[in-house]
Structure 1
């Protein structure tokens, strides 16, 4: 059989997969913090018709003769570049201006994740963790800070400001004006923004709250006091393109992404790495980084290449028909 038939088939398969990736990029052009993908091709093994030979006394060297046997997918890369920032004026919307990811988890509210403050890595936990850059956060009826899909947003308690016992949330007043040193805990816990804060022997109602650039959640009380509720944790990876997309704007770490490196909490002056994570912008969301002009151009190229591969198969079929017709 003609090699062009199989080369044409490989080209059609490769360009069909490229069109699948392009279609997914275009479909997610409005998805919050979506990272587009690209397809790279590589040639398949080549058949040698003759080997190369070196020069001799009477003749010069001769190059080898090879015929390629088609194309295949070399890789599908995640393009982790940052998308445009879209203002929303909603205090629970946050955008990561940098390479950070929110750490989210599902599991019991009392669950914690230990953090090695020296290596900034996370230990084992009963919680199932994943990562996201979708900062459209919500609150449930108990005040727990969640993603749109109900996953718990993990962070640090500041000066033991937040704790859980038997399903109940305890939030104590921590002066945000710096009269006492603000120090984060050594483990990540699910964050909450309650309606009331315990102030000594009394309680005060939360009038408003805000999320600072370093992820610190501050609340203004009805007694005009300002308290620190907690600090939203962030993580980065040595190879963020190696993260695995698991749907719902979530990512899972893989052997090639490396371990999550957790941002230092407030008060860590010995092994502080917080400056490498960028800022957390409140009242904004990161948009998709899909470039529609680029995607439509790639779609035209892929569709024409697909048609061209189909034409090589048709031409090969005509040649075979002529060969068969030699004997009448």
Structure 2
């Protein structure tokens, strides 16, 4: 009778443990990225009143099973359904991140690393990406200052809005293109002013300047060697450079040099002088492309250089590519124009830019966008993976810690996309608690608790009857 009484007590205690777990699950039904827990029972121990016996060939008797009386129940395991993802909640907050797959964000309180599925992050006063609830730093990889690429080393706090990231450095223009069709029958190209082409350039401090070039038809002119220039010969002139804000010319103060001074004689014997000019010729053997005369024969680039003056533009050189322009009949219309940078936008130059936005890619890379149309890689959120994620220890505050049975974190982490995972911004992972399942478990737990209480009641009645035998 006493055995039954204590078995009932163990049943009450174990069912109460299960109810505690169910209550915690339901309480966290709206907790970000909460992972529900389940309880499994196991029988406690047994009292053997008679051991099992084997068959006896001598007496011809068979074997008998052991006689064992169970002594109750205990909690076998409390498991976390960590690999089951919760539903997606849309927040439209760019710093809210849902992580898919079996990986975890890595965060730190400055002393110890923790792991979490909760991606409700924010930026603190020093520019660090942190958990909005605890202020713990989100860890990841930094950008190599030399290569501008992510350097996968020991994870460290992501200071995405550090002072140096709030601006994008100015960059001097180094490349430009004269591209399109040049038509020698164009009215403008045969005029005194020529076919005008404008190019905006930047110096190393980010100041913007407007340069004015003009293309002139040189067909029929006689050069200094007495040669009459054939059809398809032009000369390009740098006419002026002005500062955008003031409109003042800096042609002289910047020490700009473009080509040289060209002297021609027209058919009437008049002298034609072109300062800061480059002779350009049509190349029928090179798809009709134009090339600069002088230096290397057939060179497709010419240079605009600075450096002898006192202006901000000194110590700069801009290579102007002529190879994407060509002479062709176009009904007297020239479409060629100056454009900054190469075909891929390299070398275009830019002014000093202010940060206007931050975006996080599905691979965890954080990029800043700036008012000068530049984008800069600021870092990458690294993730941790464990051989047995269910073995992590729950630490509260949506945090987990590694244990002997979870596997260890190597301190570096992995790219979230390495094992088909990804990150999505503007959304959060919700709790994976299934209320219908929890209420069903609550009913069965209540009935189990109730039944075990009856064991105690009945055992008490039996003991009472035993005591009353003396009367």
User: Which range, TM-score by smaller chain?
Assistant: 0.7 to 0.9
Residue 256 of structure 2 is aligned to residue 289 of structure 1: no
Q: Secondary structure at the match of 2:457?
A: helix
Mapping 1:48-127, distance limit 5 Å: 48-57=48-57, 58-80=60-82, 81-107=84-110, 127=111
C-alpha separation in 2, matches of 1:2 and 1:144: 62
Report what 2:259 is aligned to: none
RMSD (CA atoms): 1.9
Residue 138 in structure 1 maps to residue 122 in structure 2: yes
| Contact residue 160 and residue 185 of structure 1 kept, 8 A | no
- Alpha-carbon separation, structure 2, partners of 1:181 and 1:146: 23
The separation in 2 between residues aligned to 1:253 and 1:287, in whole angstroms, is: 22
Q: Aligned with 1:304: secondary structure? A: helix
Alpha carbons 1:41, 1:73 under 8 Å: kept: yes
Aligned to 1:183: 150
Task: Give the match's secondary structure for 2:5.
Answer: helix
2:409 to 239, 243, 260: 260
Are 2:423 and 1:275 equivalent residues in the alignment?
A: no
Deviations 1:213-235 (A, max 9, x none): 11000111000111111101110
Q: Would you say the 8 A contact 1:96–1:133 is kept in 2?
A: yes
Q: How many residues align?
A: 284
State the partner residue of 2:470: 327
2:191 counterpart of 1:207 = no
C-alpha distance after superposition, 1:63-92 (max 9, x if no partner): 111110000111111110221122222211
Indicate if the aligned counterparts of 1:102 and 1:132 stay in contact, CA closer than 8 A. Answer: yes
Deviation, 1:326, is 1.3
Structure 2 runs not aligned, ≥5 long: 171-204, 207-351
**Residues 301-320 of structure 1 aligned to structure 2 (within 5 Å):** 301-320=444-463
Say if 2:33 and 2:398, in contact at 8 Å, map to a contact too. Answer: yes
- State the shift of 1:198 in Å: 4.2
**Structure with the higher helix share, 1 or 2:** 1
Paired residue secondary structure (1:294): helix
The one of 124, 140, 152 equivalent to 1:155 is 140
Identify the residue that residue 45 of structure 1 maps to in structure 2: 45
Which range is displaced more, 314-323 or 135-144? Answer: 135-144
Given the superposition, is the C-alpha separation of residues 69 and 193 from structure 1 closer, same or farther in structure 2, using an over 3 Å criterion?
same
Work out whether residues 220 and 227 of structure 1, in 8 Å CA contact, stay in contact via their aligned partners in 2: yes
- Alignment partners' CA distance in 1, 2:396 and 2:21: 15
Distance 1:264 1:236, change over 3 A: closer
- Name which of structure 1's ranges 192-201 and 12-21 shifts more when overlaid on structure 2: 192-201
What TM-score comes out, normalization by structure 2 length? 0.58
**Using the alignment, how far apart are the partners of 2:143 and 2:470 within structure 1?**
89
Given that 2:150 and 2:379 are in contact with CA atoms closer than 8 Å, whether structure 1 keeps it comes out as: no
Q: 1:240 aligns with which of 386, 389, 406?
A: 389
Q: Find the aligned partners of 1:27 and 1:183 in 2 and give their Cα distance.
A: 41
**Distance across 2 between alignment mates of 1:106 and 1:255:** 21
Q: Which SS does the other structure have where 1:319 is aligned?
A: helix
Distance 1:196 1:282 in 2: 21
**How many Å separate the matches in 2 of 1:183 and 1:285?**
26
Shift of 1:25: 0.3
**Which ranges of 4 or more aligned residues in structure 1 deviate by more than 3 Å?**
200-203, 261-265
CA contact (8 A) 2:168 2:374 kept: no
Change (3 A) 1:247 1:235: same
Is the 1:214–1:279 contact (alpha carbons within 8 Å) kept by the matching residues of 2?
Answer: yes
TM-score by length of 1: 0.82
Larger Rg: 2
Gaps of 5+ in 1: 108-126, 162-179, 266-272
Show CA shifts across 1:144-187 (max 9, x none).
Answer: 111011111111112238xxxxxxxxxxxxxxxxxx67332423
